[in-house]
Amino acid sequence: MVKDNFFFRAEDETDFMPIIPIHEHDTEQDKHMVIPDHLPILPLRNTVLFPGVVLPITVGRDKSIRAVNDAYKLDKLIGVVAQKDANMEDPGAADLCAIGTVARIVKLIKMPDGGTTIIIQGKKRFELLEMVSEDPYFKAGIRLLPEDEVPAHEDFDAIVSSIKDLATQIIQLSPNLPTEASIILKNIENPSFLIHFVSSNMNSELAEKQSLLEINDTHERAEKLIQILQRELQFAELKDKVTSKTRTEIDKQQRDYFLQQQLKSIKEELGGDTNEREINEMKKKAELKKWPESARNLFKTGIEKLERMHPSTPDYSVVYNHLDLMLDLPWEDYTADNYDLKHAKKVLDIDHYGMAKIKSRILEYLAVLKLKGDMKSPILCFLGPPGIGKTSLGRSIAHAIGRKYVRVSLGGLHDESEIRGHRKTYIGAMPGRILQNIRKCKSSNPVMILDEIDKIGNDFRGDPSSALLEVLDPEQNNTFYDNYLELEYDLSKVLFIATANNLQNIQPALRDRLEIIDLSGYAVEEKVEIAKRHLVPKQQEAHGLAKVKLKINDRVLEKIIENYTRESGVRELDRQLASVMRFQAKEYATKGKIKSTLTLADVEKILGQARYSNEIYKTANMPGVAVGLAWTYVGGDILFIETILGEGKGDLKLTGNLGNVMKESASTALSYLQANARKFGIDPVLFQQKSIHIHVPEGAVPKDGPSAGITMLSSLASAFTGRKVKPYVAMTGEITLRGQVLPVGGIKEKVLAAKRAGLREIILCWQNEKDVLEIDSQFIKGLEFHYVKTMQQVLDLALV
């Protein structure tokens, strides 16, 4: 069954249309009709003609036209049969059904296009016996089939009534059929004609109609017709249900549309639609915007899409927010750089004390910009311990060169979408941190601080440090792609400055893109200057003492620095000065006045007893104890290495939370000392009779690295020879089994730590001399440096 069939479907692609039956009672006259044994045959493609039914037929084939013309001239009788295959253009005798209907040609009409239309009425069923001729048209011998009288079955009237009811229901459910058709059905009184009329006009398969025609028994034919009609009724009901549902949805949409139009009209009366006003404002902004052609085209596409959308649809806000971002981004808007190098140097000197290397690098960058007018911004990385002013230096640089300043905190960042943005189709999607900050500062060439770049997270959610590779590559960042923006953005004019405490935690590929500038910790003298210029005035202002006369001299500041802080930066010093100011504020609020000058005794009264002391280096003077220098991410520090010998079998024990490299340094020192025992006046037998224990105090703190090598050897040699290590002597350097001393890193931090601790002599590898020369001589005043190449020289200098 064809799925979209329905009863009496008017638009069906057939060559006939149903005609209202006339002369329903011609059946009585047809009984006396003389029908010859041989008739011209007219094949029909798409339908079956039943006795009594009137049909218009358009005849197009030459054979059929000749057959119709000859029949019309004679007795107007013609045999009508259905083709087995409707698609066959030129059927043969074998392609025709065996049972057909004798028809009378009621009317023949010649058409302007050369075709012929006839109106025929079925008379009697016949059977094709033999085909007499096929040229110029089909002519065959026929045998008329007997027509049963109206059956006398008790249920036949009920069957006929059911056929009428089913056909009427199908007509009512089919919107394309006129309701008058049901009136015609009710007025048909002849049961046989009713069966033939309904069979002819129902929309079922050709084979089904042919099978109805071939049934001789009228009762059997009526029962089969009921089965077909019931199936057609079910399908018509289903289709009507689907159509009604669709119509309801369309009606709701039309209702919503009309209401929206009315709402739009009301808004226009009240002063215009808000959404239209917003879109028009966006268009005005876009006309004044300086942006690349690709951005202009994308905005144009987006605004056209927005105009077609209804504000209540979910995608409206997505498209609106995306266009809003495009309008807010500065694109080709840049701030003018201040190329006055003297002014820039003055600003940098006022804001930060020292840091000559960084200031020189910024001035070089400005000088090239001044000469060339344009260059790709460098990607700088300030590396140093906490609290020395790396982040604040970035703000100072922006101030010096006249650019906007933005800061992106990367500490703990674990999602690469925070850098590149999310796809805008996600709920809560937003651009990445880079574009967000550029949008906020309204400039495409700001100074952008990427703070704590060494503390970026890395887990299953993504690797932000890999996303930063594109941002921090001068060859790529002019086409930075943000997932939310869906467009390339030029970051090449942004001056990126990263800050880090530990270079080892930065991904190697990312580290390769950074221009590393080391920032060492401050010497005591530098801290005094920083305190006088910045920290003391800041804390006075913060505690309401800006207008009160209060002087803190250099000696008092030195005491606070040496006795109450142990750091490379100045954060702890700032906190101690805050404690002093709080005490002074309390005094002033209570008594109405304070002492104008802070004394050493006042410091001890306010801050309590000294937390750190250099006396430990005097009391620790005993054989087996040496002082080493260490580097940590918070700056330089000093550490003791203690060695003690006990009765045993020459085994070595190491304690103090040491790493593998430090343990290997101890084993190397012991092996070298054992191999050269006689040279240093040590009995070789001792190495077999004594157990050796090396301990590094502050066991809770992990320690590692090769720089304690010469300190361990000095401690071992002191323990085995009984000679003490000179007081106030510190050392750092790596050793080899051949007794050579190798250079180590972090020299400035280590030297300043020794200076803070009150040490007087430092033993270093001769290759580290260049690092000492970079330190300002006034900061290491009072320190004596010994540069060595071999362990023999170390022991000669270190042991008493």
Which comes out higher in pLDDT, residue 720 or 254? 720
In this structure, the dihedral spanned by the alpha carbons of residues 192, 194, 196 and 202, taken in order and rounded to 10 degrees, is -160
Quote the CA–CA distance of 158 and 97 in Å, as a whole number.
Answer: 32
SS3 735: strand
Radius of gyration of the chain (CA): 53
Q: DSSP letters of 766-787?
A: GGGHHHHHTS-GGGGTT-EEEE
Q: Is 711 exposed, middle or buried (0-12, 13-18, 19+ CB in 10 A)?
A: buried
Task: Indicate if the pLDDT at residue 447 is higher than 60.
Answer: yes
Q: What is the model's pLDDT at position 460?
A: 67
Whether a cis peptide bond, with omega within 30° of 0, leads into 136 is yes
263-268: Cβ within 8 A, 24+ apart: none
Confidence of residue 273 (pLDDT cuts 50, 70, 90): low
Least confident residue range of 97-101, 373-377, 575-579: 373-377
Residue 98's contacts (CB-CB under 8 Å, 6 or more residues apart) are 81, 127, 128
Q: Is the dihedral of CA 204, 207, 213, 219 positive or negative?
A: negative
Quote the CA–CA distance of 398 and 605 in Å, as a whole number.
Answer: 42
Confidence of residue 631 (pLDDT cuts 50, 70, 90): confident
Q: CA-CA distances (angstroms) from residue 485 to 307, 314, 327, 617, 708?
A: 20, 19, 11, 62, 53
Distance of CA 637 to the CA centre of its chain: 45
pLDDT one-digit tens code per residue, 682-713: 888 888 888 999 998 877 777 788 888 999 99
Which comes out higher in pLDDT, residue 648 or 711? 711
Q: What is the model's pLDDT at position 27?
A: 55
When pLDDT is averaged across residues 156-169 and rounded to a whole number, the result is 83
> Taking Cα atoms as reference points, which of 30, 191, 192, 205 lies closest to residue 121?
30
pLDDT one-digit tens code per residue, 731-757: 999 999 988 999 988 888 888 888 877
pLDDT one-digit tens code per residue, 173-194: 777 777 777 777 777 878 888 8
Distance of CA 436 to the CA centre of its chain: 15
pLDDT one-digit tens code per residue, 315-351: 888 888 888 888 888 988 888 888 788 888 888 888 8
Q: What is the model's pLDDT at position 268?
A: 67
Question: Helix crossing, 180-187 with 156-173: angle to 10°?
Answer: 170
Confidence of residue 15 (pLDDT cuts 50, 70, 90): very low
Q: What is the model's pLDDT at position 393?
A: 86
Residue 320's contacts (CB-CB under 8 Å, 6 or more residues apart) are 278, 306
Q: Is the dihedral of CA 427, 428, 434, 440 positive or negative?
A: positive
Q: Is 788 exposed, middle or buried (0-12, 13-18, 19+ CB in 10 A)?
A: buried
Quote the CA–CA distance of 183 and 21 in Å, as a whole number.
Answer: 12
Confidence of residue 102 (pLDDT cuts 50, 70, 90): very high
Task: Indicate if the pLDDT at residue 33 is higher than 80.
Answer: no
Tokens, residue 21: 């039956």
First-to-final CA distance of the chain: 115
Task: Indicate if the pLDDT at residue 274 is higher than 70.
Answer: no
Quote the CA–CA distance of 321 and 423 in Å, as a whole number.
Answer: 13
φ/ψ of 429, rounded to 5, equals -65, 150
Maximum Cα–Cα distance for the chain, whole Å? 154
In this structure, the dihedral spanned by the alpha carbons of residues 715, 716, 720 and 726, taken in order and rounded to 10 degrees, is -20
Task: Indicate if the pLDDT at residue 764 is higher than 90.
Answer: yes
Q: What is the model's pLDDT at position 79?
A: 92
Task: Indicate if the pLDDT at residue 501 is higher than 70.
Answer: yes
Q: What is the model's pLDDT at position 1?
A: 34
Task: Indicate if the pLDDT at residue 795 is higher than 70.
Answer: yes
Contact call for residues 6 and 236 (beta carbons, < 8 A): yes
Q: What is the model's pLDDT at position 635?
A: 67
Tokens, residue 335: 């701030």
Within 10 angstroms of residue 229's Cβ, the number of other Cβ atoms is 23
Quote the CA–CA distance of 603 and 556 in Å, as a whole number.
Answer: 7
Confidence of residue 767 (pLDDT cuts 50, 70, 90): very high
φ/ψ of 114, rounded to 5, equals 95, -10
Catalytic-residue membership of 285: no
Q: What is the model's pLDDT at position 271?
A: 61
Contact call for residues 378 and 498 (beta carbons, < 8 A): no
> Taking Cα atoms as reference points, which of 530, 580, 101, 103 lies closest to residue 351?
530
Quote the CA–CA distance of 548 and 268 in Å, as a whole number.
Answer: 65
Confidence of residue 6 (pLDDT cuts 50, 70, 90): very low
Q: What is the model's pLDDT at position 13?
A: 34
Catalytic residue among 707, 714, 715, 718: 707
> Taking Cα atoms as reference points, which of 186, 185, 200, 194 lies closest to residue 12?
200
φ/ψ of 103, rounded to 5, equals -125, 150
Q: Is 652 exposed, middle or buried (0-12, 13-18, 19+ CB in 10 A)?
A: middle
Distance of CA 11 to the CA centre of its chain: 53
Pairing of strands 784-788, 761-765: parallel
Catalytic residue among 390, 404, 690, 750: 750
In this structure, the dihedral spanned by the alpha carbons of residues 459, 465, 468 and 469, taken in order and rounded to 10 degrees, is -120
Residue 346's contacts (CB-CB under 8 Å, 6 or more residues apart) are none
Task: Indicate if the pLDDT at residue 633 is higher than 80.
Answer: no
What SS3 string covers 292-347? CHHHHHHHHHHHHHHHHCCCCCHHHHHHHHHHHHHHHCCCCCCCCCCCCHHHHHHH
pLDDT one-digit tens code per residue, 524-566: 788 888 899 888 999 989 988 888 888 888 888 988 888 888 7
Catalytic-residue membership of 466: no
Q: What is the model's pLDDT at position 621?
A: 65
Q: CA-CA distances (angstroms) from residue 43 to 17, 82, 90, 478, 669?
A: 17, 6, 10, 78, 116
pTM for this entry: 0.59
* Secondary-structure percent of the chain, ordered helix, strand, coil, rounded to 5: 45, 20, 35
Q: CA-CA distances (angstroms) from residue 148 to 99, 151, 160, 218, 220?
A: 16, 8, 15, 6, 11
φ/ψ of 439, rounded to 5, equals -60, -40
Confidence of residue 251 (pLDDT cuts 50, 70, 90): confident
Q: What is the model's pLDDT at position 12?
A: 35
When pLDDT is averaged across residues 206-226 and rounded to a whole number, the result is 85
Quote the CA–CA distance of 688 and 674 in Å, as a whole number.
Answer: 10
Mean pLDDT of the chain: 83
Which comes out higher in pLDDT, residue 776 or 766? 766
Q: Is 74 exposed, middle or buried (0-12, 13-18, 19+ CB in 10 A)?
A: exposed
pLDDT one-digit tens code per residue, 381-428: 888 888 888 888 888 888 888 889 999 988 888 888 888 888 888 888
